[in-house]
Amino acid sequence: MDERIQHHARVLVHYSVAAQSREVVMIDGPVAAEPLVVAAHEQLLRAGAYPSVRIVPETCGVNGLQYGRAHHLDEVNPLERAIARQAAGFIRIMGATNTRALGAVDPQRQARVAQATRTLRQIVLKKKWVLTLHPTAAYAQDADMATDAFADFVYTACRADEPDPLRAWREQERRQQKLVQRLQRGSQIRIVGPDTDLTLAITGRTFINSCGKHNMPCGEVFTGPLENSANGHITYDYPVVHAGREVSGIRLVFRQGRVVDASAEKNEAFLLRMLDMDPGARRLGELGIGTHYGITKFIKNILFDEKIGGTIHLALGQSYTETGGRNRSALHWDMIKDLRRGGALYLDGKLLQKDGKFVKGIGL
């Protein structure tokens, strides 16, 4: 086995979920992610935890949405509820062999499942959990990279190619804390860039130092802006893939926190349907600032793309309660704005970042 897979598993088990003896930790992954699933299982045993493994073929997820009856879409499987309540931690591994497998599924059915499982997600989010990715040819194709080169990209981003990846993530956490301290004293963020001028209030909200405890790779600080505060417009540079569909050329106009106009160059109808999922879907649940300057390439995967140093991302829908955010929705949809070419961030009217680079004193 590639030593980097073992390093990746070590980070997930001993750093991200910090597994303890006798804790039950659930590992979920598709067939293609088996090498990392096996490595994580071994590391959990070494930590003294009780590993519980579930490998699910991708087709099962698609079939559930296509052929499920009303109760499959609108109710939670009782066993899933029991797992969410009983497990102490969750390691979810992505490993798609077809990143567009859900492209033909009715988005309304996907929305129903999202609504039904919302409470379940809240249970899991209050526990120890981490989401990561095992490299596959499908992800490499999306990134326009050779499979081996994509694997190198993933392991470098996760710091699994370093001799002591746990130490590297702790250092990342220390550096990001300086930015958190600066932002925590502020009251307003202004985002400026090509066809973009958007202001958000952050008074009283908590910024989270996200450094690999829930996403791997990671490298961002984020908060939940005040729900009625977003005013202005933003045009996103990169396409986003959500529920198996690629949406590109997105432009949103906000008034008093709500999206009042939305357009897209590709899959606009899908964008509008998602925005009408529920009342909270047209409001922002998250403002994130990417801080991982080792990730420089956009690969059409939000787990990596939202961490790119010099970018920001805004998520429509559900807030993270630990930020103080109050927006509620079955949707949480991250969209990325690249500020590295002609963009800027202002905190209370003072320049915080220009062309993707922070002002002196931040340490990033």
* Spatial contact of 211 and 175, defined as CB atoms under 8 Å apart: no
Q: Which pLDDT belongs to residue 336? A: 96
In a domain, 170, yes or no: no
DSSP calls for 13-27: IIIIS---TT-EEEE
pLDDT tens digit sequence for 86-142: 999 999 999 999 998 988 888 889 889 989 998 999 999 999 999 999 999 999 999
Name the band, by pLDDT with cuts 50, 70 and 90, for residue 207: very high
* Same domain membership, residue 62 and residue 10: yes
Residues 154 and 181 in one domain: no
CA distance 120 to 79: 11
Helix/strand/coil for 184: helix
Residues 139 and 191 in one domain: no
Task: Indicate the range of 31-45, 80-94, 181-195, 238-252 predicted with least confidence.
Answer: 238-252
How much is the pLDDT for 58? 93
Residue 9 placed within a domain: yes
**Short-list 124, 126, 129, 115, CA closest to 318:** 115
Distance CA 197, CA 343 (A): 10
Asked if residues 131 and 212 have their Cβ atoms less than 8 Å apart, the reply is: no
User: Token pair 């079939």 is at which residue?
Assistant: 63
Q: Are residues 95 and 133 in the same domain?
A: yes
Q: What is the mean pLDDT of the chain?
A: 95
Residues 130, 157, single domain; the answer is yes
The per-residue pLDDT for 170 is 94
Look at strands 220-223 and 311-317 and give their pairing.
unpaired
Q: How many CB atoms lie within 10 A of CB 145?
A: 17
- Which amino acid is residue 297, in one-letter code? K
- Same domain, yes or no, for 179 and 236? yes
User: What is the pLDDT at residue 364?
Assistant: 80
Side-chain-facing half-sphere of 152: CA atoms under 13 Å: 6
| Domain identity same for 126 and 189 | no
Q: Is 168 within a domain?
A: no
CA–centroid distance for 115 within its chain: 19
Structural domain ending residue among the three candidates 113, 135, 163: 163
Shared-domain flag, residues 182 and 146: no
Does the pLDDT at position 363 exceed 80?
Answer: no
* Residue 309, Cβ density class (10 Å: 0-12 exposed, 13-18 middle, ≥19 buried): buried
258-308 pLDDT per residue, tens: 999 999 999 999 999 999 999 999 999 999 999 999 999 999 999 999 999
pLDDT for 362? 83
Angstrom distance (rounded) from CA 195 to CA 71: 44
Same domain for 99 and 217: no
In a domain, 290, yes or no: yes
In a domain, 363, yes or no: no
Whether 364 is in a domain gets the answer no
Residues 153 and 88 placed together within one structural domain of the fold: yes
Percent of the chain at pLDDT > 90 equals 91
Split into its structural domains, the chain has a count of 2
Residues 300 and 324 in one domain: yes
End position of a domain, from candidates 163, 184, 208: 163
Bond from prior residue into 57 cis (ω within 30 degrees of 0): no
Alpha carbon distance 333, 313 (integer Å): 10
For residue 347, what are the domain limits? Answer: 175-358
Q: Which two tokens stand for residue 301?
A: 């995967």
Cα–Cα distance between 40 and 37 in angstroms, integer?
5
What digits encode the pLDDT tens for the residues 315-340? 999 999 999 999 999 899 999 999 99
β-sheet bridge partners, residue 266: 248
What local confidence, expressed as pLDDT, does residue 49 receive? 98
Do residue 159 and residue 202 come from a single domain?
no
The verdict on residue 169 lying in a domain is: no
Q: Which of 118, 139, 163 is the last residue of a domain?
A: 163
User: Taking Cα atoms as reference points, which of 284, 137, 112, 133 lies closest to residue 198?
Assistant: 284
